[in-house]
């Protein structure tokens, strides 16, 4: 252990760089001598409890454990806990190594399906999925259940940190108000904060401990307690004035990306009409050392953040009768991108003397991004559905995704030996580093929605 216990007052000189929204040290806004966690937790034996061990919760748990904290991981899925214990989970290499080390330390890295054990934790971090439904309405049932379980098992002296992306005000609605009903005074008996997750699956360029964490506590003492907990592993913490400010910051992060991806997709269509290479154009613009950030086009967006999170903002704004036309149009454009891919497949086939009905289409890569096994919200699934609806025969090859369940409930398995499929057109969707693409030289036609292939004469761009 590195001594990162939460019952001691925050020491910003040894834990992390901590500033508030004005850039001032956090402790300047904290009354002198404040005791961040009043009294010891009589039953506390664990430093950190993680509720939800998915693509966010598990890497976060491993970061805490690697920093020397004892960790209790709570996940209601027996299958997920079993996959973690067997090591069969989709993690970057450094996290795979951390998992292997954690699984040998069963005293300080414990998995359970029992939320009642959270009462033994000094800090509890909630990291559960917050998807949208088929009507693009936030699906909050998982988050509500997780927060209710945390509140039910909360004990005085704990710090509770919500990290799941959600609507502005959710920390108050789902944690603060229910805690007050239980008689726990937030900021005195117990501490509550929102600190949005910043996990990018498959991205090993930014170590978890190096990515700054935004922290918004209900009170200054709540912020300080949350910083003490997160500072066990995070090197930089940026404190804002409230949980609501932190919630909005997270929504803005992903809405910013959504709007710019929609713009990049539109620029790709414009560049093709003008017979220009959109990647050449973007790379040239990106040489500007200020005022520009490159975004690149593609077949759509997947995962959890970009396809879902802006809809939490749009959904909430409807209740306030507050329009956000730029965001709304960007999300509509993103939602329509897979259908544009289907239309483009039809165009390319037509240019080469055949129709889409009855054509053999091979989709290369179905994960939502390179080098992950994740197909959540992957545009490939909607593209495959669209191609099949108009009578095309569709197969896919993805060594990281053995099978997928399509929107109609049917299951499609990845084929081996894609060169032998004899496709009329290969639709390049996701290029994993492990993919061998040499066989594409023999493909009849290639529609490159990744914009990463250049040297194939039979290649068409989206």
**Structural contact between residues 190 and 171, judged by C-beta atoms closer than 8 angstroms:** no
**Domains, the chain, with CATH or none:** 17-240 (3.40.50.720), 280-461 (3.40.50.720)
Assess contact for 377 and 302: CB atoms under 8 A.
yes
> Would you say the pTM of this structure is higher than 0.75?
yes
With contact defined as beta carbons under 8 Å apart, do 345 and 356 qualify? Answer: yes
Query: What is the spatial distance between Cα 401 and Cα 112, in angstroms, rounded to a whole number?
Result: 27
Distance in angstroms (rounded) separating the CA atoms of residues 446 and 440: 8
pLDDT confidence bin for 26, thresholds 50/70/90: very low
- Average of per-residue pLDDT values in the chain: 90
DSSP for 383-420 reads HHHHHHHTT-EEEEE-TT-SEEE-TTS-EEEPPS-GGG
Active-site residue, from 69, 121, 227, 305: 305
Phi, psi of 429 (to 5 degrees): -105, -55
Q: Any catalytic annotation for residue 305? A: yes
Q: For residue 175, is pLDDT > 70?
A: yes
pLDDT band, residue 15 (cuts 50/70/90): very low
Q: Residue 117 in contact with residue 74, Cβ under 8 Å?
A: yes
What digits encode the pLDDT tens for the residues 324-383? 999 999 999 999 999 999 999 999 999 999 999 999 999 999 999 999 999 999 999 999
The better pLDDT of the pair 16, 221 is held by 221
């Amino acid at each position: 252990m590195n001594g990162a216990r939460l019952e001691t007052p925050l020491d910003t000189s040894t834990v992390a760089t901590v500033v508030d929204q004005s850039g001032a040290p956090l402790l300047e806004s904290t009354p002198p001598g404040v005791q961040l966690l009043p009294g010891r937790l009589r039953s506390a034996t664990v430093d950190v409890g993680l509720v939800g061990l998915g693509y966010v919760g598990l890497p976060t748990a491993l970061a805490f454990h690697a920093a020397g904290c004892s960790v209790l991981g709570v996940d209601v899925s027996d299958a997920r806990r079993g996959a973690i214990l067997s090591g069969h989970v989709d993690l970057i290499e450094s996290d795979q190594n951390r998992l292997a080390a954690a699984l040998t330390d069963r005293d300080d890295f414990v998995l359970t399906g029992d939320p009642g054990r959270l009462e033994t934790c000094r800090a509890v971090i909630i990291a559960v999925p917050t998807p949208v439904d088929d009507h693009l309405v936030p699906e909050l049932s998982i988050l509500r259940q997780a927060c209710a379980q945390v509140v039910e098992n909360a004990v005085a002296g704990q710090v509770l940190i919500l990290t799941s992306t959600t609507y502005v005000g959710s920390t108050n609605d789902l944690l603060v108000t229910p805690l007050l009903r239980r008689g726990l005074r937030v900021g005195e008996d117990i501490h509550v904060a929102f600190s949005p997750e910043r996990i990018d699956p498959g991205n090993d360029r930014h170590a978890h401990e190096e990515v700054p964490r935004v922290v918004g506590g209900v009170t200054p003492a709540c912020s300080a307690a949350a910083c003490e907990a997160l500072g066990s592993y995070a090197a930089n913490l940026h404190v804002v004035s409230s949980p609501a400010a932190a919630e909005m910051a997270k929504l803005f992060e992903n809405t910013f990306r959504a709007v710019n991806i929609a713009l990049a997709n539109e620029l790709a269509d414009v560049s093709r009409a003008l017979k220009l290479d959109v990647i050449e154009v973007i790379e040239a613009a990106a040489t500007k050392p200020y005022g520009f950030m490159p975004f690149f086009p593609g077949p759509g967006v997947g995962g959890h953040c970009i396809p879902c999170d802006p809809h939490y903002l749009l959904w909430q704004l409807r209740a306030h009768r507050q329009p956000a036309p730029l965001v709304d149009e960007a999300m509509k454009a993103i939602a329509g991108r897979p259908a544009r891919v289907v239309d483009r497949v039809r165009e390319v086939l037509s240019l080469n003397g055949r129709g889409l009905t009855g054509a053999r289409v091979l989709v290369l890569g179905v994960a939502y991004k390179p080098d992950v096994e994740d197909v959540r919200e992957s545009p490939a699934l909607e593209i495959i559905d669209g191609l099949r609806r108009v009578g095309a025969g569709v197969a896919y090859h993805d060594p990281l995704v053995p099978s997928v369940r399509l929107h109609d409930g049917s299951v499609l398995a990845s084929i081996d030996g894609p060169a032998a499929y004899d496709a009329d057109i290969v639709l390049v969707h996701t290029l994993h580093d492990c993919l061998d693409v040499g066989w594409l030289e023999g493909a009849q036609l290639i529609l490159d929605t990744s914009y990463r292939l250049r040297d194939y004469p039979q290649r068409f761009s989206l």
